[in-house]
């Protein structure tokens, strides 16, 4: 039976009446067939609507209640289904069923998100990305509710409401939306020095990823793995993208947000539907108490990471996303992640941020989803056997069967319901705890700058430049000079050159360094794992070429480009003056995917201009076509161009500046070399030539 609903909301839920043939009869929510859905019931053709019109009332009532509160953070998100497969058994360190048998798969659902923006905000905001994974294991749901940045702004959950208030739109004016470039955010940050390590990450290109498929994920906190003997091993979780790391440039991000605010979700949707399934490796950093005791920082402090050089990341599994959702609301919006969802064999550390989260996530789901029965929703329901005595409440869809709804009872196996199982059930690691009851921050959390400095020194020069540019950009939107200055006073404790660059960029005298809580800061060795550019791909696979074309474009060159792109595992879109497309030199018609002003070059990883002489002359008078090439050039992209296209570059004013990353497409043979060159993704030396701030004083 065909069904007009994407997925039944619950067992025993909607059923639909069908007319003869394939078309379902429209019904009310109670199944009554509807004869007329165009007109409300009136007393006379021009008379008032009648209260008796129950179809109208039901339809409007339901519509009026469609919205649920958006998430207080991570409101804008996008999810997909897939699977997790174990590639290395962890049976020696954990009894978690999902980490025992190599080759076994469990269903996975992942929701990526931005943090600060509302549900309708644009995808390319400078922000942390949520990376929340739900694994439907045989021992219940395991939620790894992580981010694409391995550290957090604050050390204690009690500061979370303040952090988020400061980052969100300012309360009196309700702007700016989805950005941290405003006074309140930097006021809070500059008064909260523990945040500076994460600030370095959010001011780096990590906060403007090219694709959700091309970013890492981190569990952030130290967790525990516990084996069958009750032995605990500390663990940090990492997701490493097979697609390689990649980000966009800030100027590009700003323009993408206008051209396609759905850039990230569209990219994920398109890739999965095209069969190019994004994949991540699950990595674990395992360490014991001896390491924790000898480490320069506290493993319970979520503002610190453990460099991969100190504790290697061992790859133990793979996560593949191979199915988009059937319905956004039912799945992506209603999915409820909770840090406290861990199966037996996985446990928490005393990280005060994690401990606070374990309270918050249950609480927030009740507010958002409206009922204690949110676990009955298909996306949240475990896919393993489940039995308990919880019952009733709003929207209860699955009450326990049998006579007994309490325990202990003497109704026997058939009617008496489930029983606890000390052998298989979840047991907490028996950690000793003592000490006075007090509100206190451990001394061991006090070094706020050393790892921030390590992050900065681990970056390539171009990445360091981007960090400086980003801080200057953000602080230039801050109105109060004292907040700008206080921020720079912290940067002085991180890197003197960075502080000077930012002060110069703001036109600000260099302040005194901020007083550090622990003045003994360390010069830690750089870690290559912290740089995006050192962890990029060596292929153009999964990337997108934009081909700007006109009528009369060389058919052989176009066909060769299409072939080379396909061979690389990349995709392309034709951009043309009219959406109807172009007629190539051999008379073939090619449909366009984008009209020029709807398909600016920021939507592509590299561009080619394949135009006839007359076509190029026309493009040369079109502002959007000129922007197409000047932006591609300014964003350091690889550009392929036919000789005839030169006229456009001349009119755009960049013909004399074209460099070795602007490759000729003289014959079909050049297409392969051009696509091979695109593997480098960007030609960074060009950036210094197109940025006023990079010019010598
Ligand atoms: Fe969250 N966070 N968070 N968070 N978080 C939420 O839960 C919270 C933190 C993260 O796609 C909320 O269901 C507190 C760190 C992700 O549905 C809420 C603290 C990390 C998502 C909440 C943190 C995260 C959330 C809002 C400080 C990375 C989106 C809606 C102690 C390790 C999950 C919801 C999704 C969502 C609270 C800090 C990641 C309010 C109190 C650190 C990926 O419960």
SS3 content of the chain, % helix, strand, coil (to 5): 35, 15, 50
What whole-number distance in Å separates Cα of residue 340 and Cα of residue 212? 25
What whole-number distance in Å separates Cα of residue 439 and Cα of residue 156? 11
User: Does 398 belong to an annotated binding site?
Assistant: no
What whole-number distance in Å separates Cα of residue 227 and Cα of residue 90? 9
Q: pLDDT confidence of 16, banded at 50, 70, 90?
A: low
User: Does 206 belong to an annotated binding site?
Assistant: no
Indicate whether residue 72 lines ligand 1 (CB < 6 A): yes
The pLDDT of residue 19: 53
Q: Pick from 533, 527, 547, 562: which is nearest to 605 by CA?
A: 547
Active site residue 358: no
The pLDDT of residue 61: 96
Q: Do 382 and 343 touch, CB atoms closer than 8 A?
A: no
Q: What is the CATH number of domain 540-693?
A: 3.40.50.880
For residue 10, pLDDT over 70 is answered with no
**Mutational test site, ligand 1, from 68, 116, 357, max ligand atoms within 8 Å of CB:** 357
Beta bridge partners of 145: 132
3-class secondary-structure state, position 21: coil
Provide the pairing of β-strand 217-218 with 232-241: antiparallel
Over residues 296-310, the pLDDT tens digits come to 999 999 999 999 999
Mean pLDDT of 600-611: 98
What whole-number distance in Å separates Cα of residue 10 and Cα of residue 207? 38
Report the nearest atom of ligand 1 relative to the CA of 157: 31
Indicate whether residue 163 lines ligand 1 (CB < 6 A): no
φ/ψ (deg, to 5) at 185: -65, -50
The pLDDT of residue 21: 65
Mean pLDDT of 644-670: 97
The pLDDT of residue 697: 63
What whole-number distance in Å separates Cα of residue 79 and Cα of residue 331? 8
For residue 32, pLDDT over 80 is answered with yes
Q: Tell how many helices (H) and how many strands (E) occur in the chain.
A: 20, 18
The pLDDT of residue 7: 42
Compute the residue count for the chain: 697
Q: Do 151 and 305 touch, CB atoms closer than 8 A?
A: yes
The pLDDT of residue 1: 34
Over residues 73-107, the pLDDT tens digits come to 999 999 999 999 999 999 999 999 999 999 999 99
Distance (angstroms) between ligand 1 centre and the Cα of 370 equals 18
**Mutational test site, ligand 1, from 71, 356, 377, max ligand atoms within 8 Å of CB:** 71
Over residues 417-468, the pLDDT tens digits come to 999 999 999 999 999 988 999 999 999 999 999 999 999 999 999 999 999 9
Distance (angstroms) between ligand 1 centre and the Cα of 365 equals 11
3-class secondary-structure state, position 425: coil
Q: Do 609 and 601 touch, CB atoms closer than 8 A?
A: no
Percent of the chain at pLDDT exceeding 70:
97
Indicate whether residue 352 lines ligand 1 (CB < 6 A): no
Distance (angstroms) between ligand 1 centre and the Cα of 340 equals 12
For residue 8, pLDDT over 70 is answered with no
Q: What is the CATH number of domain 458-534?
A: 1.20.1370.20
**Mutational test site, ligand 1, from 360, 369, 370, max ligand atoms within 8 Å of CB:** 360
What whole-number distance in Å separates Cα of residue 49 and Cα of residue 57? 10
For residue 367, pLDDT over 60 is answered with yes
The pLDDT of residue 306: 98
Q: pLDDT confidence of 255, banded at 50, 70, 90?
A: very high
Q: How many CB atoms lie within 10 A of CB 180?
A: 26
User: Does 424 belong to an annotated binding site?
Assistant: no
Indicate whether residue 132 lines ligand 1 (CB < 6 A): yes
Active site residue 74: yes
The pLDDT of residue 224: 98
What are the domain boundaries of the chain?
77-149+208-376, 458-534, 540-693
What's this model's pTM, rounded to 2 decimal places?
A: 0.96
Report the nearest atom of ligand 1 relative to the CA of 79: 11
For residue 64, pLDDT over 50 is answered with yes
Domain covering 77-149+208-376 assigned CATH 2.40.180.10 in the classification: yes
Which two tokens mark 344? 């037996």
Q: pLDDT confidence of 20, banded at 50, 70, 90?
A: low
The pLDDT of residue 22: 78
Q: Find all residues with CB under 8 Å of 177, minimum gap 6, and list them.
A: 117, 118, 121, 169
The pLDDT of residue 561: 98
């Amino acid at each position: 039976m065909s069904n007009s609903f994407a997925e039944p909301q619950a067992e025993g839920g909607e059923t639909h009446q069908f007319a003869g043939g394939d078309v379902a009869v429209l019904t009310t929510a109670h199944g009554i067939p509807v004869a007329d859905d165009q007109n409300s019931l009136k007393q006379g053709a021009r008379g008032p609507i009648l209260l008796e019109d129950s179809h109208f009332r039901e339809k409007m009532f339901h519509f009026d209640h469609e919205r649920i509160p958006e998430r207080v953070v991570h409101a804008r998100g996008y999810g997909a289904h897939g699977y997790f497969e174990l590639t290395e058994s962890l049976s020696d360190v954990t009894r978690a069923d999902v980490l025992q048998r190599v080759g076994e798969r469990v269903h996975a659902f992942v929701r990526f998100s931005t943090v600060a923006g509302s549900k309708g905000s644009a995808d390319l905001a400078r922000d942390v990305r949520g990376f929340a994974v739900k694994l439907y294991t045989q021992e219940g749901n395991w939620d790894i509710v992580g981010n694409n940045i391995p550290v957090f702004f604050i050390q204690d959950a009690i500061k979370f409401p303040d952090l988020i208030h400061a980052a969100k739109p300012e309360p009196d004016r309700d702007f700016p939306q989805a950005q941290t470039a405003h006074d309140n955010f930097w006021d809070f940050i500059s008064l909260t020095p523990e945040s500076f390590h994460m600030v370095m990450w959010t001011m780096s290109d990590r906060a403007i990823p090219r694709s959700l498929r091309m970013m890492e994920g981190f569990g952030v906190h130290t967790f525990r793995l516990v084996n069958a003997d009750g032995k605990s091993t500390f663990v940090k979780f990492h997701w490493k993208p097979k697609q390689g790391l990649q980000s966009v440039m800030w100027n590009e991000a700003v323009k993408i947000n206008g051209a396609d605010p759905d850039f990230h979700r569209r990219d994920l949707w398109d890739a999965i539907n095209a069969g190019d399934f994004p994949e991540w490796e699950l990595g674990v950093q395992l360490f014991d108490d001896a390491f924790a005791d000898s480490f320069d920082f506290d493993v319970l402090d979520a503002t610190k990471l453990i460099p991969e050089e100190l504790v290697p990341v061992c790859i133990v599994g793979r996560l593949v996303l191979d199915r988009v959702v059937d319905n956004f609301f039912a799945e992506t919006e209603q999915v409820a992640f909770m840090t406290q969802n861990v199966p037996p064999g996985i446990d928490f550390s005393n990280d005060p941020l994690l401990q606070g989260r374990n309270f918050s996530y249950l609480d927030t789901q009740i507010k958002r989803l409206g009922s204690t029965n949110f676990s009955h929703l298909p996306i949240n329901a475990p896919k393993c056997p489940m039995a308990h005595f919880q019952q009733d409440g709003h929207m209860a869809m699955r009450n326990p069967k049998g006579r007994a709804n309490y325990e202990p009872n003497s109704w026997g196996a058939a009617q008496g319901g489930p029983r606890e199982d000390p052998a298989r059930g979840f047991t907490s690691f028996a950690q000793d705890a003592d000490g006075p009851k007090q509100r206190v921050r451990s001394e061991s959390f006090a070094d706020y700058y050393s790892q921030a400095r390590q992050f900065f020194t681990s970056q390539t020069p171009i990445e360091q430049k981007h960090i400086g540019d980003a801080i200057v950009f953000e602080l230039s939107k801050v109105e109060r000079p004292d907040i700008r200055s206080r921020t720079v006073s912290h940067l002085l404790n991180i890197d003197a050159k960075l502080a000077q660059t930012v002060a110069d960029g703001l036109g600000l005298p260099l302040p005194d360094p901020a007083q550090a809580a622990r003045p003994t800061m360390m010069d830690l060795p750089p870690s290559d794992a912290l740089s995006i550019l050192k962890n990029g791909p060596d292929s153009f696979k999964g990337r997108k070429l934009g081909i700007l074309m006109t009528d009369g474009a060389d058919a052989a060159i176009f066909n060769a480009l299409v072939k080379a792109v396909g061979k690389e595992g990349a995709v392309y879109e034709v951009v043309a003056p009219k959406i109807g497309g172009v007629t190539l030199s051999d008379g073939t018609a090619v449909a366009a995917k984008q009209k020029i002003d709807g398909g600016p070059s920021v939507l592509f990883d590299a561009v080619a201009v394949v135009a006839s002489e007359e076509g190029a002359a026309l493009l040369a008078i079109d502002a959007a076509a000129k922007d197409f090439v000047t932006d591609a050039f300014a964003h350091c992209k690889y550009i392929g161009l036919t000789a005839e296209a030169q006229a456009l570059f001349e009119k755009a004013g960049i013909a004399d500046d074209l460099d070795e990353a602007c490759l000729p497409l003289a014959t079909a043979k050049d297409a392969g070399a051009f696509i091979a060159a695109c593997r480098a993704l960007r030609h960074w030396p060009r950036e210094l030539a197109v940025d006023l701030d990079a010019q010598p004083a």
